[in-house]
Structure 1
Amino acid sequence: MQKPDPEVEKRIETLKEDVRKMLSNAAGKATLEELLTLIDTLQRLGVAYHFEYQISQALQSIYNNNINGSDDDDLYTIALRFRLLRQQGYSVSSDVFKKYVDDNGEFKATLANDARALLCLFESSNLRKEGEDILEQLQRFSTRQLKLMLPHLNSSFAEEVNRTLELPLHKRMPRLEARQYISIYEADAARNDLLLEIAKLDFNSLQKLHRTELCDLSRWWKAIDFATKLSFARDRLVECYFWILGVHFEPKYSISRKYMTKIIVIASVIDDIYDVYGTLDELKLFTNAIERWEVLAANDLPEYMQVCYFALLDVVKEMEDNLVNEGRSYRVHYAKEAMKALVRAYFVEAIWFNTKYVPTFEEYLEISVMSSGYPMLSVQALVGLEEVATKEAFDWAISVPRIIRSSALIARLVDDIHTYKVEEERGDAPSGVQCYMKDHNVSEEEACKKIKEMVDIAWKNINEEIQEPNHPPLPLLLPSLNLARMMEVLYQNGDCYTNSSGKTKKRITSVLVDPIPI
């Protein structure tokens, strides 16, 4: 197992101090565009977590001193300022873009030639809330113009434009974005070599930590021997770790990351038990055992279910032992309640399947939001957080507030759009597409269109929750945002979790296996 290289770690610390000075100087002397570009570059290179305080202070100052933007600011600067502030949780009005609309309600022709500004504008439009018509127009306009310009752009920039139009920055996995952006930044003649060096060294250093965590998890997984004892279930430990890496990648979340990976991989196995293997009588026993959450409850279970049941109890108990030492054992109650709610939803879906019941679309959504697993994971993501995860924070999360529900809707509906045909052929329980078709007497195409619109609205709701003036602290909101992002990433080209041998395997390799050449 690789250990951190002391010389490399020392060099990273030196570079961090240099970047802090760079941020401090930029905040005092640089233009607004230069400061915003520096912050954006640090975020995209994946090293902004080292400079959270300095970046937070800089953005607070920009927000306070430049509320509506300056008349002298160009489109690129206005769009970048808008995006960086909104993603930091500031409520910034979209009216800043109105000056680019002429008297006929059309965007001024002068905007059409600046590809860099248009790309930034497109990225910014993805942080829109419900009812922001000007951002809807801007997204359509920037998309159309960028596509027209593509044949005339240099190859590397054209590739970046294509990648963004396929999946905007706001919906990407931060760690994967860092890996890809480092290569883009290295090819940029205007790059800062100091930033490039710290990005490469830090990425490789983190990659070693993540690989060590995955090795620990692999030993745990092999010791339980799920792959042999529950051969019907998907063996997806690495994919599950990659999923959770999208929620929290920073070193301080190491224990939380391993705990969440164990939870999600066990939940995946439980999902398969309810979906493809257990009889309804067995599933009733398992549901009751989870409700009781005690060792003796396993006596009622078939042997294959006991393997899964004991593994779950052991993982939560191990986390509880960690939390007792920190005086935070109250969190375990919420971890258990979140898992119980997930299993209840699985059981309802199993009853529907076994009784051939086709729910209404509303019934389907009520249950499938929970069975997506995201409300459960959103609670588990707080279990390993620092002081910000108070009892009140857990009461908030367990109630499935709007941001968690929206993230869960994205999880369920994006899954449905990509898997409903395969599931229909397999004879699975009805998907959201089928329920919507039956409920509203519409075609498959119309149902898919409507569900995609619902996903779009859910994204706007997430944005609104993050930008609410009195929103909860960002560390409580980011897991829901990052979980939604992972759904878009893993299902960008179909179900690349269940069928992970193609694009997902390449992405996992780039993040967890191949270091960046120095």
Structure 2
Amino acid sequence: MSLGCITPLASAMVGMRLPLHKPPPIHHNPFTKLYPSRRRVAQIPINMAFITTDEQGITRRIGNHHPNLWDDDFLQSLPKSYDAPCYGERAEKVIKEIKGMFNALPLHSSSADDLYKRLSMVDDLERLGIDRHFQTEIKAALDYVYRYWDDMNGIGCGRESPCTDLNTTALGFRILRLHRYGVSSGVLQQFKSKDGQFLYSNNQSNEKDLRSILNLFRASLIAFPKEQVLDDAKSFSTAYLKQALPNINNTNLSKEIKFNLEYGWHTNVPRLEARTYIDIYGDVKTSNSIFNSKLLELAKLDFNMIQSIQQRELQILSRWWTESGLGKLEFARHRHVEFYFWAAGGCIEPKYSTFRIGFAKMATFVTCLDDIYDTYGTLDELKVFTEAIKRWDFASLEGLPEFMKLTFKVFDEGLRDMAREAEKTQGRDTLDYARKAWEVYIDAYFQEAKWLAMGYMPSLEEYLENGKVSSGARVVTLQPILSLDVPLSSDVIKEIDYPSRFDELLCLTLRLRGDTKTFKAEADRGEVVSCITCYMKDHPGSTEEDALEYLNSLIDENLKELNWEYLKPDSVPIISKDHAYVLSKGLQLLYKERDGFSVSGIDTKNLITKTMIEPVPM
């Protein structure tokens, strides 16, 4: 989702209008693309694989994206094996049994590890993906722990422990903060020596010490801006765990550490964590107690039942995709299954089907529009197309290519459908509100198309101001959020939607993360304007490595601020923030190594197969 910048191709090859400013002299090779040099850009040969001529003889750029990986017949044949009522009945029975065990915990235990035990139970429920069934019990357990929390010293294993404990304090800090209890990261200062280094054991095969450092690492990821102790904790624990890994005899602890180091927090979506932790938990804890075996049984049942729901929704989405005709747009990325995975990785409540399917549709529209504006459309076409969308008038598309008419038709119908769903919850028509958001988004895309035609290289600030809109994060999130079963007043919407800082950070992290992973592939297609090239223009003599170092640091700081905006107390219903925030995590996951949408290769397919296709063995 980034810009293209091909002045000679724009005017001579793609049928675009002549540049508004005279471009630099063109060398003999007509197939050129522009590369950054202050406001203008220098020329390098364009890859001919990204040039095509349509049936009308218009030469266009294309992305050369690979086709859809998910055959509709395969999706329609998914068995939904855990649809039968007997599984739900068994799950309800196990839930009642687990609640009984929770409630049997004494209110004022004298156990030496009662605080750690409660925290560990909550942590297991959340990592296994079944915490939504036990919200009352979790609240009671955390209220109990918080009563004994000391903001200077943290807590020990039990409420009567004479000494604070790193493992319990780090685990407690993380869980309490994520549940919006007011806890300070300063509690971790006591575990540092006078020279500022964290105290630790040299015995890196000691399981207890390793688990303490692992929980310190996990705690360090839930950082707010300017929490130096958490930055220090992250650096220390990361290095310690990586060094310790070769010496760990416990295979399952090793797996747990590897998973946390690889996926951290911002790329660790709930469904992936649940599927991974079910395997780890099954090997480690089921022999410890009836409680643990019950948790594992419920986790497996719940995972498979949710998976059956997701498979049914995938079938609905795939039928919509086929019937919409969007598959005829051969130049566009066909990634509706990947978009569904993006939403379903964090939103698992059965009743939120509209959210998951709606998000996948909105993301599909964004991708089709992205490929039209970035590569396939000519500037003259895009001008008319933009004006037609902003008037929401299909008749205004007269004379435009069929691919634009089809995109507009399906896009407009999709927005209307989502507005009808949102009205059921919001009690009012939100179509005009959603359309205004899309109009701003389309303007941002058209601005990028004009930059392309002019051969203009914006500053990083100018690029990001436009890019946080053209990232599409707001428009793909807005209507699905409005479809949740929580009415949002206009004032409350503004705290999660534009112009809130929460919304701005979601959009910025999408733009920044996307550009850092896609700029090389997009440069091959002629789309050379990105955060990286704009930074290099602003800092003459800098390298790609310099730009990436700065931008990755900027992403880290934005994610810390996003943590704060997500967890701070305000009037926004938590469920709305939860679902918007977890969409950000899904994006971070799919852009973890590269653009997991444009190149939906084996890694992305394996994630989808693991979480949505293959059930957990019972």
So what's the TM-score if we normalise by structure 2?
0.80
For 2:586, give the aligned amino acid. Answer: M
Give the distance between the partners of 1:324 and 1:135, measured in 2 at CA: 43
Structure 1 residues 67, 296: CA separation in 2 closer, same or farther (over 3 Å shift)?
farther
Q: Establish whether residue 92 from structure 1 lines up as the match of residue 92 from structure 2.
A: no
Indicate the residue corresponding to 1:453 in structure 2.
Answer: 553
- Return the offset for 1:299: 4.1
Pick one of 309, 313, 324 that aligns with 1:209.
309
Q: Which amino acid aligns with 1:32?
A: L
The code of the aligned residue for 2:378 comes to: T
Work out which of the residue numbers 319, 328, 332 in structure 2 matches 1:219. 319
TM-superposed CA distance for 1:216, in Å, is 0.6
8 A contact 1:361–1:436 mirrored in 2:
yes
Spell out the pairing of 1:205-354 with structure 2 (5 A cutoff).
205-228=305-328, 230-299=329-398, 301-326=400-425, 328-354=427-453
Name the aligned partner's letter for residue 449 of structure 2: A
Whole-angstrom distance in 2 between the partners of 1:474 and 1:110: 40
Structure 2 CA distance for partners of 1:327 and 1:117, relative to 1, 3 Å: closer
Asked if structure 2 preserves the Cα contact closer than 8 Å seen for 1:341 and 1:376, the reply is: no
Q: What displacement does 1:378 show?
A: 3.1
Deviations 1:129-156 (A, max 9, x none): 1111111111111112112211111233
Q: Is 1:16–2:95 an aligned residue pair? A: yes
Correspondence for 2:272: 176
Q: Give the drift of 1:385.
A: 1.4
> CA 1:27–1:473 in structure 2 vs 1: closer, same or farther (change >3 Å)?
farther
| Whole-Å separation in 1 of the counterparts to 2:437 and 2:100 | 44
Q: Distance in 2 between matches of 1:196 and 1:56?
A: 21
Of 508, 514, 529, the residue aligned with 1:409 is 508
User: What's the CA shift for 1:355?
Assistant: 1.4
Aligned to 2:123: 40
For the Cα contact (< 8 Å) 1:16–1:198, is it kept in 2? yes
In the TM superposition, 1:45-194 aligns within 5 A as: 45-68=128-151, 69-70=154-155, 72-110=163-201, 113=204, 114-154=209-249, 155-189=251-285, 192-194=292-294
Q: Distance in 1 between matches of 2:464 and 2:203?
A: 41
- Number of aligned residue pairs: 517
1:58 offset after TM fit, Å?
3.0
Deviation at 1:219, TM superposition (A): 0.8
Mapped partners of 1:388, 1:299: distance in 2: 39
Against the structure 1 CA distance between its residues 323 and 259, is the aligned structure 2 distance closer, same or farther, given a 3 Å change threshold? same
Question: Contact (CA 8 Å) 1:128, 1:460: kept in 2 or not?
Answer: yes
Q: 1:22 to 1:405 in 2, by over 3 A?
A: farther
The structure-2 alpha-carbon separation of the partners of 1:42 and 1:356, relative to structure 1 and needing over 3 Å to count, comes to: same
CA distance in 2, matches of 1:65, 1:311: 56
Residue 84 of structure 2 is matched in structure 1 by: 5
- TM-fit CA distance, 1:169: 3.6
State the shift of 1:165 in Å: 1.6
C-alpha separation in 2, matches of 1:94 and 1:209 = 40
- C-alpha distance in 2, partners of 1:226/1:391? 34
Q: Deviations over 1:450-492 (max 9, x none)?
A: 0000010011101111332446332232233212211221122
Distance verdict in 2 for CA 1:357–1:478, change over 3 Å:
same
For the structure 1 residues 170 and 427, does the alpha-carbon distance in structure 2 shift closer, same or farther, using more than 3 Å as the test? closer
- Provide the residue aligned with 1:367 in structure 2: 466
In 1, Cα distance between the equivalents of 2:438 and 2:377?
18
8 Å contact 2:421–2:483 — kept in the other structure?
A: no
Matches of 1:461 and 1:177 in 2, distance apart?
Answer: 24
Aligned partners of 1:242 and 1:109: how far apart in 2? 40
Distance 1:202 1:194 in 2: 12
Q: Deviations over 1:312-370 (max 9, x none)?
A: 11122223333445552333333222222221211111111121110000001111111
Q: 1:391 to 1:57 in 2, by over 3 A?
A: farther
User: Does the CA-based 8 Å contact 1:335-1:383 persist in structure 2?
Assistant: no
Instruction: Provide the C-alpha distance between the structure 1 equivalents of 2:533 and 2:514, rounded to a whole number of angstroms.
Output: 13
Task: Provide the rounded CA distance (Å) in 1 between the counterparts of 2:428 and 2:125.
Answer: 36
Cα offsets for 1:392-430 (capped at 9, x unmatched) = 222333324222222222211111111111212221141
**Structure 1 counterpart of 2:401, one-letter code:** P
Q: Deviations over 1:43-76 (max 9, x none)?
A: 1111112223332343244334525333534111
Task: Name the stretch that deviates more: 461-470 or 193-202.
Answer: 461-470
1:195 corresponds in structure 2 to 295
In the TM superposition, residue 509 of structure 1 has moved relative to its aligned partner by: 0.6
Greater mean alpha carbon deviation, residues 42-51 or residues 59-68:
59-68
What residue identity is the alignment partner of 2:551? I
5+ residue gaps, structure 1, are: none
Paired residue type of 2:592: Q
Q: 2:307, 2:612 within 8 Å by CA — same for their partners in 1?
A: yes
Q: Which amino acid aligns with 1:93?
A: S
Q: Using the TM superposition, name which of 28-37 and 208-217 deviates more.
A: 28-37
Secondary structure of the residue aligned to 1:288 is helix
SS in 1 for 2:194: coil
Rounded Cα–Cα distance in structure 1 between residues aligned with 2:445 and 2:383: 11
Structure 2: give runs of 5+ residues left out of the alignment: 1-78, 157-162
* RMSD (Å) for aligned C-alpha atoms: 2.1
- Counterpart CA distance in 2 for 1:175 and 1:247 is 6
Between 161-170 and 506-515, the greater mean CA deviation after superposition = 161-170
128-137 vs 484-493, greater mean Cα deviation: 484-493
Contact residue 379 and residue 453 of structure 2 kept, 8 A: yes
In structure 2, relative to structure 1, the CA distance for the partners of 1:27 and 1:231 (3 Å cut) is farther
Letter in structure 2 aligned against 1:450: Y
For residues 328 and 317 of structure 1, the distance between their equivalents in structure 2, rounded to whole angstroms, comes to 15
Distance of aligned partners of 1:246 and 1:373 in 2 relative to their CA distance in 1, 3 Å threshold = farther
| 1:452 to 1:35, Cα distance in 2 relative to 1, 3 A | same
Larger radius of gyration: 2
Separation of aligned partners in 1, 2:194 and 2:426: 62
**Equivalent residues of 1:91, 1:467 under 8 A apart:** no
Query: Residues 400 and 111 from structure 1, CA distance in 2 versus in 1: closer, same or farther, beyond 3 angstroms?
Result: farther
Report the Cα distance in structure 2 between the residues aligned to 1:234 and 1:326, rounded to whole angstroms.
Answer: 32
Farther off after superposition, 74-83 or 410-419 = 410-419
Counterpart-to-counterpart distance in 1, 2:253 and 2:242: 12
Matched letter for residue 273 of structure 2: E
* Whole-Å separation in 1 of the counterparts to 2:214 and 2:241: 7
Give TM-score, length-normalised by structure 1. Answer: 0.94
Counterparts in 2 of 1:381 and 1:358: CA distance versus 1, 3 Å? same
Give the Cα–Cα distance (whole angstroms) in 2 for the partners of residues 322 and 423 of structure 1. 36
Q: Hey, what's the Cα distance between the residues in 1 that align with 2:179 and 2:423?
A: 33
Higher relative contact order (CA 8 A, sep 6+): 2
Structure 1 pair 234/477, CA: closer, same or farther in 2 (3 Å)? same
Q: For 1:477, which of 577, 580, 583 is the aligned residue?
A: 577
